[in-house]
């Protein structure tokens, strides 16, 4: 029977049915669930890498060794993996190599809105783009076949709505036969020194021409003639919006978005009176069509910024009027750090000491939200350390700057930044917020957690030893629930004449952890100062109370949400917060 699956689950099932030797990647919304699903299908066939570049290199090695590999990442992860991608394009593959990249139009959980289609063109690698979960399954299967047939890595591009959208999937026959393990023995193909790479570049250009010819007649690209006065060229999830918004229009639906089947497009365009290009993010298809002399309407009607919806497509096509939101004045409901989050006390202290905080990618980026508002920059994975060091080199007093990074992000790409601080004589301070998981993407394991993606135990790197071995002398491990110790260690580190590292040691509240007694306000002792509210804990709400005829705002701890971290208790100068006896539980 067919099943209802997310795009990510469909890709995992296809990779499994294509008999991959390995799925490898680094967590990143919206791509994370591909490997999580793959490991439930066959636990030994998926693993997390410390970052996307390593994942890509492992995938390349699997392919060179004769196995099939799928490498998964979000759009910004592809920037990290770009170096090996551009050269594996030259070497080609042995076993099929599929690179899944998940873009995030609308930035539901990302720091930029880059369009990864440019990478396909720049790296000269074919790219397929499915429009629902069935195609996510089918195109993944096809991608492996194309990879082996044309001796190329193949990129599969999804977007958030495709990755997380759910629709029915019918699986096809599982690939039979075992792939042959090969001993790599072809330096002309696999050793990219200039003499060999020059020949491979010619191969790549010829391969692109062959792929383009192949896509002209491929079923990946579908022409649907209806009313020929209006024709639309589109791909991915936008195709579905087009079908709802203008059901009578003719459509050329591109399943291969690079290289473009230009003859197919020319023929379609010749049959159409008014041609529209409907693509999320950049005018990637539109610009190539215009370069080929095809008259079409694109970004003047459909936005570059943000995610499409059926309504945006309908408005762009002129079949609906723009809808002004009547509700934009309503209070927003942004995400916040969880009750008991071990990062909260650290950010409260950084804010109170008025330090410049160089931030990074993870849950702790939420430190920018009110009321903490303790983050001054955030660029990309691992950037906090280099950026802090750079500010120091610009002449900013290093005793006023702190870099903060999570454990998973530090292992991803923070280690080299710290090495640079040591090497170049920084006096800066780094806090590694070690919560024992990759929290933001849904609590994935990493080399520091002692567990593999399969759930089996794995060797775990000791951050303290690692930091010391990078050459940091001044390093300390502290309890982030102990506010005085945060301040004390910071005061020491900021004055220390060399690089300093502070590692915090409490786990994410969403992973199994020790339970603590919850807290509550003692009404008689509360002076309504609001200090406990200043930490931004979701379990503390305000209650209006009548005190001697005056309305005062008193905090109150939700006993379902409180985890007993005691950070609010340490904010109170009046001893008005006490531990509540009785059993405790967590918010999960």
Partner 1 sequence: MNTTNILICGVGGQGIVLAGDIIGMAARLSGLEAKASEIHGMSQRGGSVVSEVRYGSQVNSPLIPLPGADFVLAFELLEGLRGIDRLRPGGLAIVNRQIIIPSSVTYGTAQYPENVEADIISSASGAIIIDALDMANKVGNPRAVNSVMMGVLAEKSTLPINCWEEAIKKLVKPKFIDINLAAFNCGREICK
**Of 43 and 336, CB closest to partner 1:** 336
* Closer Cβ to partner 1, 464 or 545, answer by number: 545
Does 551 contact partner 1 by CB under 8 A? no
Would you say 166 or 492 has its CB closer to partner 1?
166
The reply to whether 416 sits near partner 1 by the rule CB under 8 A is: no
Cα gap 209→211, rounded to integer Å: 5
| Smallest distance from partner 1 to CB 441, Å | 8
Sign of the four-CA dihedral 135, 141, 142, 146: positive
- 462 touching partner 1, by CB under 8 A: no
Instruction: Decide whether 467 or 565 has the Cβ nearer to partner 1.
Output: 565
Is 301 exposed, middle or buried, given 0-12, 13-18 or 19+ CB atoms closer than 10 A?
Answer: middle
Q: Does 541 bind partner 1 (CB under 8 A)?
A: yes
In the complex, the smallest distance separating the C-beta of residue 131 from partner 1, rounded to whole angstroms, is 9
Report whether 538 contacts 488 (CB < 8 A): no
- 173 vs 329, which CB is nearer to partner 1? 329
Position 320 contacts partner 1 (CB under 8 A): yes
Among 355, 452, 510, 521, the residue binding partner 1 under the rule CB under 8 A is: 510
Residue 385 CB-density burial (10 A; 0-12 exposed, 13-18 middle, 19+ buried): buried
The reply to whether 166 sits near partner 1 by the rule CB under 8 A is yes
Residue among 316, 569, 565 at smallest CA distance from 555 = 569
* Collapsed DSSP state (helix, strand, coil) of residue 16: helix
Tell me: does residue 323 bind partner 1 (CB under 8 A).
Answer: yes
Instruction: Spell out, one character per residue from 122 to 151, where the chain touches partner 1: x when CB under 8 A holds, - when not.
Output: ----------x-------------------
CB 250 within 8 A of CB 273: no
How buried is 262 (Cβ within 10 angstroms: 0-12 exposed, 13-18 middle, 19+ buried)?
middle
Q: Alpha-carbon distance 336 to 366, whole Å? A: 6
Is 366 a residue that touches partner 1 (CB under 8 A)? Answer: yes
Among 50, 67, 95, 165, binds partner 1 (CB under 8 A): 165
Which CB atom, from 66 or from 371, has the smaller least distance to partner 1? 371
Q: Residue 240, interface with partner 1 (CB under 8 A)?
A: yes
C-beta closer to partner 1: residue 167 or 429: 167
- Smallest gap from Cβ 340 to partner 1, in A, equals 12
Give me the least distance between CB of 449 and partner 1, in Å please. Answer: 19
Min dist CB 308 to partner 1, Å, is 9
Q: Which is nearer to partner 1, 94 or 167 (CB)?
A: 167
User: Between 104 and 392, whose beta carbon lies closer to partner 1?
Assistant: 104
Among 213, 244, 287, 462, binds partner 1 (CB under 8 A): 244
Binding mask 268-307 for partner 1 (x = CB under 8 A): ----------------------------------------
Stretch that binds partner 1, among 19-27, 380-388, 397-405, 530-538 (CB under 8 A): 530-538
Written as six digits, the tokens of 522 are 């003692």
The owner of tokens 């775990």 is: 460
Record the tokens describing residue 242, joined without a space. Answer: 């087009």
Q: What is the size of the binding site for partner 1 (CB under 8 A)?
A: 53
List of residues 6+ apart from 308 with CB closer than 8 A: 105, 237, 238, 241, 278, 280, 302
Q: How far is the CB of 168 from partner 1 (least distance, A)?
A: 6
The whole-angstrom separation of Cα 555 and Cα 571 is 13
Q: d(Cα 226, Cα 280) in Å, to the nearest integer?
A: 23
Alpha-carbon gap, residue 336 to 537, rounded angstroms: 8
Report H helices in 130-261. 133-150, 160-164, 187-190, 194-216, 238-245
From the DSSP assignment, how many helices (H) and strands (E) are in the chain?
20, 22
109 binds partner 1 (CB under 8 A): yes
**Count of residues in the chain:** 588
> Could you tell me the smallest distance in angstroms from the CB atom of residue 542 to partner 1?
6
Q: Does 371 bind partner 1 (CB under 8 A)?
A: yes
Helix (H) or strand (E) holding 401: strand 401-406
Give the binding range for partner 1 (CB under 8 A) out of 95-103, 166-174, 375-383, 473-481.
Answer: 166-174
Burial 269-296 (b: 16+ CB within 10 A, else e): beebeebbbbbbbebbbbebbeeeebeb
Give the residue with the Cβ less far from partner 1, 47 or 240: 240
Asked if 368 interacts with partner 1 (CB under 8 A), we say: no
Residue 160 in contact with partner 1, rule: CB under 8 A: yes
Taking the complex as a whole, how short is the minimal distance between the CB of residue 529 and partner 1, in angstroms?
A: 15
Decide: helix, strand or coil at residue 316: helix
Answer for the pair 437, 449: CB distance below 8 angstroms, yes or no: yes
Task: Report how far apart, in Å, the C-alpha atoms of 412 and of each of 85, 103, 361, 366, 417 are.
Answer: 18, 20, 11, 19, 11
Stretch that binds partner 1, among 149-157, 244-252, 261-269, 474-482 (CB under 8 A): 244-252
| Interface positions with partner 1 (CB under 8 A) | 4, 29-30, 108-109, 132, 160-161, 164-168, 237, 240-241, 243-245, 247, 309-311, 314, 320, 323, 325-327, 330-338, 363, 366, 369-371, 440-442, 510, 533, 536, 538, 540-542
């Amino acid at each position: 029977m067919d099943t209802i699956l997310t795009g990510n689950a469909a890709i995992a099932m296809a990779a499994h049915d294509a008999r991959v030797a390995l799925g490898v990647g680094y967590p990143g919304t919206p791509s994370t669930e591909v490997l999580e699903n793959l490991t439930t299908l066959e636990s030994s066939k998926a693993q997390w890498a410390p970052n996307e570049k390593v994942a890509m290199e492992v995938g390349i090695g699997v392919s060179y060794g004769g196995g099939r590999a799928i490498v998964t990442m979000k759009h910004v992860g592809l920037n990290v993996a770009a170096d090996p991608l551009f050269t594996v394009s030259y070497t080609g593959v042995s076993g099929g190599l599929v690179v899944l990249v998940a873009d995030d139009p609308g930035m539901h959980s990302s720091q930029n809105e880059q369009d990864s289609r440019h990478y396909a063109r720049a790296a000269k690698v074919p790219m397929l783009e499915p429009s629902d979960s069935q195609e996510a399954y089918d195109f993944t299967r096809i991608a492996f076949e194309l990879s082996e047939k044309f001796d190329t890595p193949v990129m599969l591009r999804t977007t958030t709505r495709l990755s997380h959208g759910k629709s029915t999937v019918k699986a096809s026959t599982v690939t039979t036969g075992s792939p042959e393990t090969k001993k790599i023995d072809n330096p002309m193909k696999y050793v990219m020194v200039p003499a060999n790479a020059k020949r491979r570049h010619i191969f790549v250009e010829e391969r692109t021409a062959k792929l383009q010819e192949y896509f002209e007649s491929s079923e990946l690209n579908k022409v649907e003639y209806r009313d020929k006065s209006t024709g639309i060229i589109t791909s991915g999830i936008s195709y579905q919006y087009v079908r709802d918004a203008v059901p009578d229009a003719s459509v050329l639906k591109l399943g291969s978005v690079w290289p473009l089947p230009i003859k197919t497009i020319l023929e379609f365009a010749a049959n159409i009176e008014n041609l529209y290009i409907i693509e999320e993010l950049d005018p990637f298809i539109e610009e190539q069509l215009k370069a080929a002399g095809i008259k079409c309407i694109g970004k003047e009607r459909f936005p570059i910024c943000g995610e499409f919806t059926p309504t945006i497509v309908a408005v762009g096509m002129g079949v609906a009027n723009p809808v002004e939101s009547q509700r934009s004045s309503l209070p927003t409901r942004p995400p916040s750090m969880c009750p008991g989050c071990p990062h909260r006390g650290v950010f409260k202290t950084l804010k109170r000491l008025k330090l410049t905080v160089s931030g990074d990618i993870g849950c702790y980026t939420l430190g920018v939200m009110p009321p903490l508002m303790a983050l001054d920059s955030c660029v990309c994975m691992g950037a906090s350390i280099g950026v802090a060091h750079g500010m120091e080199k610009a002449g900013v007093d290093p005793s006023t700057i702190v870099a903060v990074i999570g454990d998973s992000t530090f292992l991803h790409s923070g280690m080299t930044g710290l090495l640079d601080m040591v090497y170049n004589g920084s006096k800066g301070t780094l806090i590694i917020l070690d919560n024992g998981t990759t929290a933001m993407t849904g609590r994935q394991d990493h080399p520091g957690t002692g567990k593999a993606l399969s759930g089996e135990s794995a060797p775990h790197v000791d951050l303290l030893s690692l930091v010391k071995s990078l050459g940091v002398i001044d390093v300390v491990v502290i309890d982030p629930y102990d506010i005085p110790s945060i301040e004390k260690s910071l005061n020491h580190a900021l004055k220390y004449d060399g690089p300093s590292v502070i590692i915090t040691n409490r786990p994410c509240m969403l992973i199994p952890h020790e339970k603590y007694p919850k807290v509550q306000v003692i009404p008689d002792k509360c002076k309504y100062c609001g200090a406990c509210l200043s930490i931004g804990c979701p379990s503390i709400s305000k209650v209006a109370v009548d005190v001697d005829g005056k309305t005062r705002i008193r905090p109150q701890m939700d006993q379902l949400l409180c985890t007993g971290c005691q950070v609010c208790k340490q904010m109170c100068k009046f001893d008005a917060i006490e531990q509540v006896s009785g059993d405790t539980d967590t918010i999960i």
